[in-house]
A and B are shown apart, each in its own frame.
Chain A
Amino acid sequence: MSEPLLKVTGLTAWYGRIQALYGLDFEVPEKGVVTLLGANGAGKTTTLRALCGMIQTGGDILLGGQPIGGMATEDIVRLGIAHVPEGRGTFTAMTVEENLQLGAMTRGDTRAIAEDIDRTYAYFPRLAERRSQQAGTLSGGEQQMLAISRALMLRPRLMLLDEPSFGLAPLIVEELFSILSDLKDKEGLAMLIVEQNAALALEIAEDAYLIETGRLVMSGPAQQIGSDENVRRAYLGY
């Protein structure tokens, strides 16, 4: 087993003077998919924001062996972490095409960027149809596709997804997760997925971590977590 792509030890985080995370330990292996589960307010979004340097943090965060704790968001992004934030974070006033171009803002290889945009349209024909449309007028599902595509434009080593299923109809969510599954199989993209919708996330992930009020309460292979009695009752509804 080689070095994990992302290794986090003793992660703490604060909003002002209020502590939100109390020392989390987890890792994401190369090309692996890991999911972070928990109820509302458990600290999942906080964890992703901490990884991206958007809030005050403590502890060690290693990306490919390199410490990134304390770095500015813009610099962490340049190291290859793409974050699809809660609520998608789409540039609503700009067109679909402009959103994609923004995703590639840190790259310089114009021809490759153009190819990537074409590839995105091939993958998501609905986005192609709306390429000159204002992104804010897209439906929730389409905005989520756009958000993920924008993240992919970075050609990231690691993609962070914050509640990708939020606010989407079940059919769309299934479609979304099958796309994520494809990304994992075909592109070998490492992902850290934060989800309230535990069932789908557990299907796609190899490892799972369960957070409650800022603390890690359970961790292990996804299948194991998924078949645990307590988890099933609390998070899977059966």
Chain B
Amino acid sequence: MTMDRTISPADAPEKARTATPAATAKPAAAIPVAWQRAALIAGLVVAIALPFMVKNFTIFQFTTVMIYAIAILGLSLLTGFNGQFSLGHSTFVAIGAYTTAILMEFAGFGFYWTLPLSGIICFLFGFLFGFPALRLESIYLALATFALAVATPQVLKLSPLEHWTGGVQGLIVFKPEAPFGLPLNGDQWMYFVTLAIGLFLAVCAVNLVNSRTGRAMKAIRDNPIAARAMGINIALYKTTTFGISAAYAGIAGSLSAVVVQFVAPDSFTFVLAIGLFVGLVIGGVGTIAGALFGGLFLVFVPNIAEEVSKGLAGAVYGVILLLVIYLMPTGAVGLIKTAALKLATRRR
């Protein structure tokens, strides 16, 4: 985040200490595709079997993991792939959650219909917020989005809006039952719904990132001036990415409304925003799979911290955070990639 950047062609060898100057560099090997596929299949098998093997509360926890993962995925698209720094995604989660709650409560909508609506509404909010965000660089954007996150619970508690938002106490939401008389309880059904939506959104994200649009996003992240010189409409891509990212967070919010079965202003404080950010970095910025690790971290580590020491839970959490970030400064996915690469190249 240095303030003075002199961008010149000579910058490239100067900046990166791990740059490859001579022609002796081999192209970086990726994790073998077979391994990736195997991991994916194994993961899916475990994911599908899980709800039948654990208690309801644990199913609820894992559903929460996936909800966080979806929100983190949205943040990853914005920060990891497009380089825009947001500390305010809790706002969009809140908007999604309340949209679902209000539509179900006051307009009699079925839950599933609220999902695309929530996505669209959050996309619009995100897109619109993307415009002023264009003017703000890194830390200033962080501050602005943080302001948004701080303001959200306060706005939700405002008296004039109480009729709709339920004020401080919030609104109760009813969890949908499994349809067609399937032999699943509410927790299991929502688990699978979340899993399906999560997978769908992950696939969309992968496709987006590998498409022309994704390359434009990454170009903007890496070198905005060069991107503009290549004719990329920076404003359009940045605001759109903001919108998409917000939509992801909003859908996560909608899911959470139903899984937790109520929405209240204090569920969406800046603590959530910071949590999403931490989850993003721990999982691995600029990766898709990292979102899942981030979700796991956010749900389980605070519990572990409390078990270690009730009075010093925060300190334990902080220490764990530090240890994790030392061991994997590029996130869990970064660590896995390095380890897998080492293994793969050694076998040759």
Contacts and interface: CB of A to CB of B under 8 A. Distances in A.
A93 interface: yes
Contacts of B4: 92-93, 136
Contact of A87 (B6, B22, B25): B6
B8 A20 contact: no
A15 interface: yes
Interface residues of B, number: 17
A136 B3 CA distance: 12
Contacts of B19: 15
A87 B10 CA distance: 6
A16 interface: yes
A93 B3 CA distance: 9
Contact of A214 (B10, B13, B14, B22): B22
Contacts of A45: 13, 21
Interface of B is mostly: loop
A85 B13 CA distance: 11
Given A45-B13, A87-B11, A87-B14, A136 B6 contact: yes
A93 B2 CA distance: 11
Interface residues of A, number: 22
B21 A86 contact: no
A19 B20 CA distance: 9
B327 interface: no
A213 interface: yes
Contact of A16 (B6, B13, B18): B18
B83 to A, nearest CB: 23
A121 interface: no
B33 interface: no
B18 A15 contact: yes
B14 A18 contact: no
A231 interface: no
A166 interface: yes
A87 B8 contact: yes
A15 B14 contact: no
Contact of A20 (B3, B10, B21): B21
A10 interface: no
A3 B278 CA distance: 58
A213 B24 contact: yes
A213 B14 contact: no
A55 interface: yes
Contacts of A214: 22, 24
A213 B17 CA distance: 18
Interface string A70-95: 00000000000000011100001100
Contacts of A188: none
Nearest to A85: B14
A163 B9 CA distance: 13
A214 B25 CA distance: 12
Contacts of B8: 87, 167
Contacts of A93: 3-4
Given A87-B10, A214-B22, 6 more contacts: A16-B17, A16-B18, A87-B6, A87-B14, A166-B10, A213-B22
